[in-house]
Structure 1
Amino acid sequence: MENIIESENYKIQKPEHWASKIDDNQLIEYIKESDFSNKQVDEGRDFCYFLDKIYYTSDTENSEYACVAYTLNEPSNLESASVKDVIVEENETFIIHRISVLRDGVLIDKIPDTKIKVLDNENQSEGGVLSSTKKINITIKDLRLYDILIAEDSRVKVFTDRDFLRKEYLKYVYVTPSTYWAYGNYKFTFINDRKATIAYKKTFYRDEAGNVLEPEINYLKKGERFVIEKENYINSFDINREIAPYIDFATDSNWTDLSNYISPLYDEIYSNASLKEFAPKLVEKLDAISDKDEQLRFAVEYVQNHVNYIFNADEMNGHKPQEPAITYENKQGDCKAKSVLLKVVLDYINIDSSVVLVNFNSDHYIKHYLPSLLTFNHVIVKINYKDETYFIDATARDEFGLIEYRCYIYFMHYLEVKPNQQLQIRQPHRFSYYGINEKVDFNAQNNEGHLKLTTTYKGNRANYMRKYFKNTNKREIIDSWNNFLFYTLNYSSDRNGTDLRTVFKDASIEIVSDDKTLNEFTIQYNSSIENPYFTDDQKNRFLMYFDRNVVKNNARDFMHTDVPFWHNFDNEKYEINLHTDQKIDTEEKFTRQESAINNPYFDYTSRKKVTKNSASIFVDFKPLVNLEIPAADFEKFRTDHHTIADSNFGIGIDIIEQGLLNLIKFNFKKRLK
């Protein structure tokens, strides 16, 4: 082996006392061909002869052990086996017990052919992300196709004082293995060596008919273990429509006890914080603002924009926040520090607030998990103001507006950092404003069109569009709008492949206004278009405008059986006006078609106005958001979105061509309808 000096991040030694003891003869005995293994190889897949996984937890460490033997019949698997990276945390050690191959029936030790490098796993410090994790790069020379690779290793995480929460509580989620692999023998063992009882909950397991079974909760006392063992095993869940079965292991507790454990850590910080003492200049600025709405806005934007967000991965493993005086003085802190500072500022201006724990990435699963503080990975602030509840992410930047117009954060579950709390679920939400309010005027005169779009974005949309216009090249923005309109006007059907800049001549887009108090951002697009009509294969001409962004295809196409559809659309309002100097068919079905949908989860109307030379549509969409659509309601929800997609999201007008023959042709076509 090239690296003979071991690092503190990895070792080469025998397994710990709690791990499996497997000698070479046993290894060879385990690696036997069978009808099951031959079938997998014949189908062109690699095969895992055995996988033995163990998770061990005590009051001083969390550790994982694995021993695996699998074929290297596929070049991609050979490549990934030859070079791999292992990420270890602070005070975590990767221990290699065995690296071998079985080649032509002979067991060969590959540790002498193994090169190990320890690298800093760091590439985001310039963005304020700090981590003391290490990357262990393992390269094995001379692995060959059709070898059988045997790897036996462990990861041992010894707790430090910083890991006080991990010492007190365990959280581990066991997920059933990849559907790619077939296993001759598969074994998973969980060993509880803690003083506290560990609860475990089996979730999304299925019966033989594929129906989800009711969750099953059991308990492990100190010294007890949970074991899964299977032979000739393939995990068969539908990866595209089902959640992989998993088992949630957590120290047996409840939300009330957990909130009572965590809240004193924050109360101690609040009790020692005096904004007047550590931030007199900030207090002076706050006192100078007489309007309460503006005072609240200033407080939020000060913490968001004037205090740098530093994500320290190691600090996030614990839950004790930084003193707000330090955060203010250093002008930096993680989500806990910034949230605590914001709460202290809000306390000073007598606005009710609290710190809450969330996990946006795993929000859907929180209701299925056992109670655990380690479920959460982020801290934000809950504000109660004028009989409304708002949630503010103190780590956000470039967000504007009074509290009711600021960024709306989508999530359902949170734990408030107060005594005697339960896991809370947010109520569904209706916006009081339109995220998009757009007026379109498309005028066609003398076979030339002029197109004008005036769009006002508000709330989340305003924040996003403001950043987009700030950070994107003007030409790129115009090209993006041109591309959108190329499909909206249906030009993709009669002039596909044409350079969009020749279609939309003199296209321009400008910011009309930017109201950072109301968080409204208004833009205007203008363009001239030669031959503004879409012409079909029969030489019929149409003026069309169908904005496909109005159609929510993710609602129409949603097929998951275990995860309900997450409803998070904006209020939208559109006025689309089409004008021409040509005669139009004022009775055409789709020109006149209107809709009115009153679904429990959204209201949608499209109203029309038709004259002899013009047609307009007025679209109004108001959803109930921040909720999961129950399975029993979803098909009606989907059908109503199909109704929107059936020509109710835009408008088209048919041109009646001049001349007697064209009039006869038009009347004949009308009789056939």
Structure 2
Amino acid sequence: MDNQIQIENYKIQKPEEWAGNIGDQEIIERIKDSEFARKQIDEGRDYCYFLDKKYYTSNKENGEYACMAYTLNEPGNLERASVSDVVVEENEVYQIHRISVLRDGVLIDKIPDTKIKVLDSENQSSGGVLSSNKKINITIKDLRLYDVLILEDSRVKVFTDRDFLRKEFSKYVWVSPDNYWAYGSFRFTFINEREQTIAYKKTFFRDEQGNVLEPEINYLKKGDRFVFEEQNYINPVDAGREIFPYIDFATESTWKDLSNYIVPIYDEIFSKSSLQEFAPHLVEKLDAIADQDEKLQFAIEYVQNHIYYIFNADEMNGHKPQEPSITYENKQGDCKAKSVLLKVILDYIGVEASVVLVNFHTDYYIKYYLPSLLSFNHVVVKINYKGEEYFVDATIRDEFGLIENRGFMYFMHYLEVKKDQELQVRKAFKFPYYCVDEKVDFTTQGNIGNLKLVTTYKGNRANAMRRYFKSTNKREIIDSWNSFLFYSLNYSGDRNGTDVRNIFKDAAIDVISDNKKLNEVKIQYTAVVENPYYTDPQKNRFLMYFDRNVVKASARDFMHKDLPFWHNFDSEKYEINLYTDQKIDTEEKYTVQESTINNPYFDYKSRKKITKNGASVYIEHNPLVNLEIPQDEFERFRTDHHTVADSNFGLGVDVIEPGLMNRLKFSFKKKFK
């Protein structure tokens, strides 16, 4: 085969002793067509005759082994099998034990037909993502439709000193396989060769009726094995509405023990040197700021914007942070380094702060996982200031504002780096400001409408809007607003397919103010609209403005048996004014309709002011966010959002056309409505 010189990233060899050994004859005997196999193949489903997976862990290394035989009955599957990539970490070796096909009853060795290339897997290095991972590209020539492909391989990761955490603690999550595949035989084995006991927790397994079973916890001593085995198996999970069953394996511990393990590591770093010693120029700048609020803002933004964020994937596998003096001198560091430096600065200015461990990606599952430091993949800073609790991500750029005006970070679970800590759950949050505060004026005279929107964005919205305007072409921004207004004014109902640039003439948009302390960005949009009325098929004219952003489709459409709804909507305030030189129906049901919703998770109010030539609506939406809505309370939450969507998210007025016949028609319509 090509690449006869084997290098450190992969080897062609027999399996490790813990993985066992399987002979050619046993392989052939296990690839037998059965009634179950024929049924799956006849239905066009890819079929795996057997899959044996093993996970091995010791205090020196981790290993994963797999041996499988599956059909290549679909062209897409044949393509994926012919060329594949395996990514290995630093000091991890990919071991190839067998690549074969069963063709017309004959087992053929395909290793001579295999070409292997080793590539750097560092395509994001320009963005500060550093990784010594390698990508192993495997090309197998002369695979044919209806072959049965047999793959047997392992990945073995030997721990270095940098992996001190993995030497001490183990964590592995087995997730049930994708429900697309059918398996004649499926077996997973976990092998514990560590000195410490490993706990395992089975979660989201179901009974025959599909009801979730209570989690089950058991333990593995050194030398013990856990085996999960199924025959003629198709994962029955409803993937759109159910969580796949999984088994969490972790070194037996408690959150309190883990916090006490990690605290000395951080304390050692904090005690290395003082801010005055390694950053005298920064100290001068801090001392020159008299106002404590502004000093705190300066400290946060200094670390966020002046210290370059480097994500070192290998370093993140451990929890030993870089010394703050090195971070300051080099002006770069990962999330741990930046968070530690920020805490040292905050300590100097007398602001209470601590480092906390989080995992935004698996935040929902942490409450179900067994306690483990390896459940976390990010570090942020918790700040207590003037009786309030704030969380700051030191790796984010272009965030602004005094601390009460900064963007809100959504997550629920965290472990604070302090003694004797348990896993903590953040409190729910209510915005002290409106994230969006918008005033709409649409004035029509004759057949011309003048449209003006003035919108104030705050918090996360302000930060996002700054980035958007900085990185996006002005013409593209105007087109985006035009497209939004095309639907808000219901022009999609009577002139669909029309170029929006021909509807909104002389459209202009500008940032008219940007207050970095209040973290407020104010934007103004103006346009002239010819033929400003929406006209229905009966030639009735309407002025309409319904902001569909107010309607929370994700809440109305949410359907999941296991996941509760995560509530993270922004607070919003709108004033919409529609004026015309025509007479309007001041008693029309939807024109005068108002709403008041007092839900435990959001307050919503719309109030109207009607005149003979126009109307105004004032809308306020104040949510309680950063929480999961319990399933037994969700239907009320959904129903209240349906109420918002029932013409309570904007304003429409009916024009009474001039002339005796039109007035008679209007009176007749009102009488028999």
In the alignment, which residue of structure 2 is the partner of 1:395? 395
Partner of 1:645: 645
Residue equivalent to 1:74: 74
Deviation at 1:229, TM superposition (A): 1.1
Q: Write the distance in 2 (CA, Å) between the matches of 1:511 and 1:320.
A: 44
Corresponding residue for residue 103 of structure 2: 103
Could you say which residue in structure 2 is the equivalent of 1:229? 229
Match of 1:533 in 2: 533
1:405 CA displacement? 0.7
Alignment-mate amino acid for residue 24 of structure 1: D
Structure 2 partner of 1:183: 183
Task: Measure, in 2, the Cα distance between the counterparts of 1:451 and 1:593.
Answer: 24
* CA-to-aligned-CA distance 1:621-667 (integer Å, 9 cap, x gap): 00000000000100000000000000000000000001111111111
**SS at 1:339 equivalent:** helix
Counterpart CA distance in 1 for 2:627 and 2:92 is: 39
Question: In the alignment, which residue of structure 1 is the partner of 2:429?
Answer: 429
1:113 corresponds to:
113
Residue equivalent to 2:58: 58
* Cross-structure match for 1:474: 474
Give the distance between the partners of 2:20 and 2:50, measured in 1 at CA: 13
For residues 46 and 391 of structure 1, the distance between their equivalents in structure 2, rounded to whole angstroms, comes to 47
Q: Distance in 2 between matches of 1:483 and 1:560?
A: 32
Q: How does 1:411-426 map onto structure 2 within 5 Å? A: 411-426=411-426
Cα distance, 1:164 vs. partner? 0.3
Verify the 8 A CA contact 1:575 1:618 in the aligned structure 2. Answer: yes
Partner residue, 1:440: 440
CA distance in 2, matches of 1:32, 1:375: 41
Give the Å deviation of 1:273: 2.4
Distance in 1 separating the partners of 2:446 and 2:540: 17
Find the residue that maps to 1:610 and give its secondary structure: strand
- SS of residue paired to 1:656: coil
In structure 1, the partner of 2:452 is: 452
Q: Distance in 2 between matches of 1:597 and 1:408?
A: 25
TM-score by length of 1: 1.00
Please give the residue correspondences for 1:207-606 in structure 2 after superposition, counting only pairs within 5 Å: 207-606=207-606
Q: Is the 8 A contact 1:273 1:344 kept in 2?
A: no
C-alpha distance in structure 1 between counterparts of 2:282 and 2:23, whole Å: 68
CA distance in 2, matches of 1:151, 1:272: 51
Aligned residues: 673
Tell me, in whole angstroms, the C-alpha distance in 2 between the residues paired with 1:317 and 1:233.
35
Instruction: Structure 2: give runs of 5+ residues left out of the alignment.
Output: none
Rounded Cα–Cα distance in structure 2 between residues aligned with 1:27 and 1:396: 52
Q: Is the 8 A contact 1:616 1:651 kept in 2?
A: yes
Secondary structure at the aligned position of 2:337 is classed as helix
- The aligned amino acid for 1:526 is T
Alpha-carbon deviations, 1:188-239, whole Å to 9, x = none?
1000010000000000000011100000000000000000111101001010
Specify the code of the residue in structure 1 equivalent to 2:387: D
Q: How much does 1:20 deviate? A: 2.8
CA offset digits 1:125-162 (Å, max 9, x no partner): 11111000000000000000000000000000000000
TM-score, normalized by length of structure 2?
Answer: 1.00
Aligned partner of residue 429 in structure 2, secondary structure: coil
| RMSD after superposition | 0.5
**Post-superposition offset of 1:578:** 0.3
> Could you tell me how far apart the structure 1 residues matched to 2:40 and 2:402 are?
61
- For the residue of structure 2 that corresponds to 1:293, the secondary structure is helix
SS in 2 for 1:434: coil
Deviating 4+ runs (over 4 angstroms):
none
User: Whole-Å Cα distance in 1 between the matches of residues 101 and 212 of structure 2?
Assistant: 40
Tell me which residue corresponds to 1:662: 662
Q: Which amino acid in the other structure matches residue 274 of structure 2?
A: S
- 1:498-517 superposed Cα distances (whole Å, 9 cap, x missing partner): 11111000000011100001
Summarize deviations over 1:338-379 as a string: whole Å, max 9, x none: 000000000000110000000001100000000000000000
Query: For residues 499 and 430 of structure 1, what CA distance do their matches in structure 2 show?
Result: 41
SS at match of 1:273: coil
Q: Deviations over 1:364-402 (max 9, x none)?
A: 000000000000000000000000010000001000000
Match of 1:44 in 2: 44
Map Cα deviations across residues 592-627 of structure 1 (whole Å, 9 max, x no partner). 000000000000000001010011100000000000
Separation in structure 2 between the aligned mates of residue 672 and residue 34 of structure 1, nearest angstrom: 71
Secondary structure, counterpart of 1:484 in structure 2: helix
Give the Å deviation of 1:172: 0.3
Q: Which residue of structure 1 lines up, in the alignment, with residue 160 of structure 2?
A: 160
Name the CA distance, whole Å, in 2 between partners of 1:419 and 1:119: 44
User: What are the superposed Cα offsets for residues 393-419 of structure 1, whole Å, 9 maximum, x if unpaired?
Assistant: 000100000001112100000000011
User: Quick one: which amino acid aligns to residue 294 of structure 2?
Assistant: E
* Percent identical: 75
1:115 corresponds to which letter in structure 2?
Answer: K
1:35 aligns with 2:35: yes
CA distance in 1, matches of 2:105, 2:633: 59
SS at match of 1:18: helix
**1:53, 1:632 → 2: CA distance?**
39
State the AA in 2 paired with 1:480. Answer: S
In structure 2, give the amino acid aligned to 1:662: N
Query: Tell me, what secondary structure is at the counterpart of 2:63?
Result: strand
The CA deviation string for residues 306-331 of structure 1, in whole angstroms up to 9 with x for no partner, is: 00001111111111110100000000
Report the equivalent of 1:3: 3
Matched AA of 2:139: T
- Once the 2 structures are TM-superposed, how far is the Cα of residue 3 of structure 1 from its aligned partner? 1.2
Offset of 1:444 from its aligned partner? 0.7
Query: Distance between the aligned counterparts of 1:197 and 1:672, measured in 2?
Result: 79
The aligned amino acid for 1:272 is: K
- SS of residue paired to 2:17: coil
Q: Distance in 2 between matches of 1:414 and 1:456?
A: 32
Amino acid at match of 2:194: R
